[in-house]
Amino acid sequence: MSAERLLGLGMDLVEIDRIEDSMKKFGDRFLQRIFHPGEVQYAQSQARPATHLAARFAAKEAASKAFGTGIGKALPWLGMEIGRHSSGEPFLRFHAAGADLAKTRGVLRALVTLSHTRTHSAATVALLGP
């Protein structure tokens, strides 16, 4: 079995207040443009939803940095989703254009970490391939 190699690495830090402000200003329109229903559902089940949405926002930004594309046509907001295994470990799932990009780049696995403080959420994404 051959070892995987690092294809890309990205990190992002988001102010939780910025996400809260967008939620208040744009409501469901903001949530539907950036997050999959499962991401919103999970966040809304938590005491402070904006903390968890900010972490998912950061993870999507981190993934776009790992690919070197930024958020856009090649990797749109809804082209990726941050989920949670039953153990609590986060995972990154690609959809549509995001899945196409991951396949084209040879991504076999994406590792994601999420972290929070009272004021910020952060994420790191590593893309692994053959």
Catalytic residues, which ones?
65, 116
**Token representation of residue 63:** 């993934």
d(CA 55, CA 50): 8
Amino acid at 80: M
Q: How far is CA 114 from CA 25, 56, 89, 90, in A?
A: 25, 8, 9, 7
Amino acid at 110: A
